[in-house]
Chains A and B, each alone.
Chain A
Amino acid sequence: MTRRQLLAATAPAVAAVPLAKLALDKPAQAATPHVHYPGMAMDAPTHAAMHGDEVPAPGGPKALDALLHPPPALPHKPGRVREYDVTAVDREIEVAKGVFFNAWAYNGTVPGPVIRATEDDLLRVKFTNGGSHPHTIHFHGIHPTGMDGVFEIVDPGGSFTYEFPARPYGMHLYHCHSTPLKKHIAKGLYGAFIIDPAEPRPPAQELVMVLNGFDTDGDGENNFYGVNGPAFYYAKYPIRVRRSQTVRIYLANLTEFDLINSLHLHGDFFRYYPTGSSDHFEYTDTVMLCQGQRGIIEIDFAHTGRFMFHAHQSEFTELGWMGFFEVVD
Chain B
Amino acid sequence: MDSTAQELPRGWRLWALLPLLLLVGAVAVFAASGTTLLDLVGRAPPPADQFDIRRVEFKPGEIRIRVTNPQRQELTIATVTVDDAIVPYTVDGPATLGRLHSSTIVVPFQWVEDDPYTVGVTSSSGIQTTFDVAAAVEARGASPRGFLGYALIGLLVGVVPVALGLGWLPSLRGSGPGWVAGFMALTAGLLSFLAVDALTEALDLQAGLPSGFQGPGLILLGVAASYLGLTFVAQRFSAAAGRERSAPLGGVALATLVAIGIGLHNLGEGLAIGSSIALGELALGTFLIVGFMVHNVTEGLGIAAPIADGARASLGRLAVLALVAGAPAIVGAWIGGFITSDVLGVLFFALAVGAALQVVVEVGRYVARRAPGGLRSGPVIGGYLAGIVVMYVTGLLVA
Q: Is the CB of B84 within 8 A of A95?
A: no
Across the A-B interface, the 9 shortest Cβ-Cβ residue pairs: A216-B126, A44-B61, A318-B85, A98-B78, A14-B285, A6-B399, A39-B61, A48-B88, A45-B108
Distance (whole angstroms) from the CB of B153 to the closest CB of chain A: 13
Chain B interface mostly helix, strand, loop or mixed? Answer: mixed
> B269 contacts the other chain (Cβ, under 8 Å)?
yes
Contact with A along B67-94 (1 / 0, CB 8 A): 0000000001011010011111000000
B124 to A98, Cβ gap below 8 A?
yes
Whether B272 sits at the interface, judged by CB under 8 Å, is yes
**A28 close to chain B: CB less than 8 A:** no
A-facing mask of B253-284, CB < 8 A → 1, else 0?
Answer: 00000000000000001001100100001111
Contacts known (A39-B62, A45-B108, A97-B79); A8 close to B125, Cβ less than 8 A: no
CB distance from A68 to the nearest CB of B (A): 22
| B370-399 interface code vs A (CB 8 A; 1 in, 0 out) | 000000000000000000000000010011
Q: CA of A39 to CA of B85 in the docked complex: distance in angstroms?
A: 18
> B197 contacts which chain A residues (CB < 8 A)?
2-3
Within 8 A of B (CB), among A189-241: 214, 216-217, 223-224, 231-232
- If A98-B124, A216-B125 touch, whether A320 touches B86 (CB-CB below 8 Å) is yes
Q: Tell me if A4 is interfacial: C-beta within 8 Å of chain B.
A: yes
User: Chain B 172-199, CB within 8 Å of chain A: the 1/0 string?
Assistant: 0000000000000000000000000100
Nearest B-chain residue to A35, judged by Cβ: B112
In the complex, chain B residues whose CB is within 8 Å of the CB of A41: 60-61
Please measure, in the bound complex, the distance between the C-alpha atom of A224 and the C-alpha atom of B107, giving whole angstroms: 19
CB-CB under 8 A from B281, the residues of chain A are: 8, 11
B337 to chain A, nearest CB (A): 15
Q: Please, which residues of chain B bring their CB within 8 A of the CB of A6?
A: 395, 398-399
Residues of chain A contacted by B108 (CB below 8 angstroms): 45-48
Least distance between A97 CB and chain B CB atoms (Å): 7
Give A93-122 as 1s and 0s: 1 = Cβ < 8 Å from B's Cβ atoms. 001111111000000000000000000000
CB distance from A234 to the nearest CB of B (A): 15
B283 and A100 within 8 A (CB) = no
Minimum CB–CB distance for B329 against chain A, Å: 13
In chain A between 2 and 22, which residues have their CB closer than 8 angstroms to a CB of chain B? 2-12, 14-15, 17
Report if A64 contacts B (CB, 8 A): no
Chain B positions 279-336 with a Cβ under 8 Å from a chain A Cβ:
281-285, 287-288, 291
Q: Sample 5 A-B pairs with CB under 8 A, ordered by A number.
A: A2-B200, A8-B281, A37-B113, A44-B62, A45-B62
With A and B bound together, what is the CA distance between A101 and B127 in angstroms? 10
Instruction: Report the minimal beta-carbon distance from A252 to chain B, rounded to whole angstroms.
Output: 24
B110 near A216: Cβ-Cβ < 8 Å: no
In this complex, how many residues of chain A approach chain B with their Cβ under 8 Å: the count is 48
A319 within 8 A of B: yes
**Is A38 on the interface with B (CB-CB < 8 A)?**
yes
Contact B86 A318 (CB under 8 A): yes
A8 to B276, CA, bound (A): 8
Q: Which residue of chain A lies nearest to B106 when distances are taken between CB atoms in the complex?
A: A45
Query: Is A150 an interface residue, CB under 8 A from the partner?
Result: no
Which single residue of chain A is at the shortest CB-CB distance from B50? Answer: A217
- Contact status of A3 and B395, CB under 8 A, knowing A38-B58, A231-B86: yes
A30 interface residue (CB < 8 Å to B): no
Chain B interface (Cβ < 8 Å from any Cβ of A):
58, 60-62, 76, 78-79, 81, 84-88, 108-113, 122-128, 138, 197, 200-201, 204, 269, 272-273, 276, 281-285, 287-288, 291, 395, 398-399
- Residues of B contacting A217 in the complex (Cβ-Cβ under 8 angstroms): 122, 126-128
CB-CB under 8 A from B124, the residues of chain A are 98-100
For B78, the chain A residues whose CB sits under 8 A away are: 96-99
Is A99's CB under 8 angstroms from B79's CB? yes
Contact A100 B204, beta carbon cutoff 8 Å: no
Contact of A38 among B88, B111, B127 (CB under 8 A): B111
Interfacial chain A residues near B284, Cβ < 8 Å? 14
Q: Does B126 lie within 8 Å of A223, measured CB to CB?
A: yes
- What residues of chain A lie closer than 8 Å to B109, measured between beta carbons? 39, 47
Q: How far is the CB of A102 from chain B (nearest CB, A)?
A: 9
Query: A48-B87, A56-B79 known; 16 other A-B pairs, CB under 8 Å?
Result: A4-B204, A6-B398, A8-B276, A10-B291, A15-B283, A38-B111, A40-B110, A45-B61, A46-B61, A47-B110, A95-B126, A96-B122, A97-B78, A98-B79, A224-B79, A315-B84
A36 at the interface (CB under 8 A from B): yes
Interface status of A50 (Cβ within 8 A of chain B): yes
Check A214 against B204 for contact (C-beta < 8 Å).
Answer: no
Bound CA span A214–B398, Å = 48
Q: Which residues of A, 154-195, contact B by the 8 Å Cβ criterion? A: none
CA distance A232 to B291 in the complex (A): 54
Cβ contact within 8 Å between B84 and A9: no
C-alpha spacing A133/B109, complex, angstroms: 44
Expressed in whole angstroms, the Cα–Cα distance for A100 and B79 within the complex equals 11
Q: Does A54 lie at the interface of the complex (its beta carbon under 8 Å from any beta carbon of B)?
A: yes
A196, B125: Cα distance in complex, Å: 40
Q: Which of A40, A47, A319 has the most CB of B within 10 A?
A: A47
Does A216 contact B122, Cβ atoms closer than 8 Å? yes
In angstroms, Cα B110 to Cα A44, docked, is 9
Q: Bound complex: CA of A37 vs CA of B62, how far in Å?
A: 12
CB distance from B67 to the nearest CB of A (A): 15
B152 to chain A, nearest CB (A): 18
**Residues A36 and B79 in contact, CB atoms below 8 Å apart:** no
Query: Could you say which of A1, A3, A14, A318 has the most chain B C-beta atoms within 10 Å of its C-beta?
Result: A3
Listed residue (A54, A96, A217, A315) with the most chain B CB atoms within 10 angstroms of its CB: A217
A315 touches B79 (CB 8 A): no
Nearest neighbor of A319 in chain B, beta-carbon distance: B86
Assembled-state Cα–Cα distance A48/B124 (Å): 22
Cross-chain contact A99 with B110 (CB below 8 angstroms): no
> A17 to chain B: which residues have CB within 8 Å?
285
Chain B residues lying within 8 Å of A101, measured Cβ to Cβ, are 126
Q: Which residue of B lies closest to A8 (CB)?
A: B281
Residue from A36, A38, A45 having most chain B Cβ neighbours under 10 A: A38
Residues of A within 8 A of B276 (CB): 4, 7-8
Task: Kindly provide the distance from the CB of A96 to the nearest chain B CB, expressed in whole angstroms.
Answer: 6
Closest to A9 in B: B399
User: What CA separation (Å) do A12 and B113 show in the bound complex?
Assistant: 17
Q: How far is the CA of A10 from the CA of B399 in the complex (A)?
A: 5
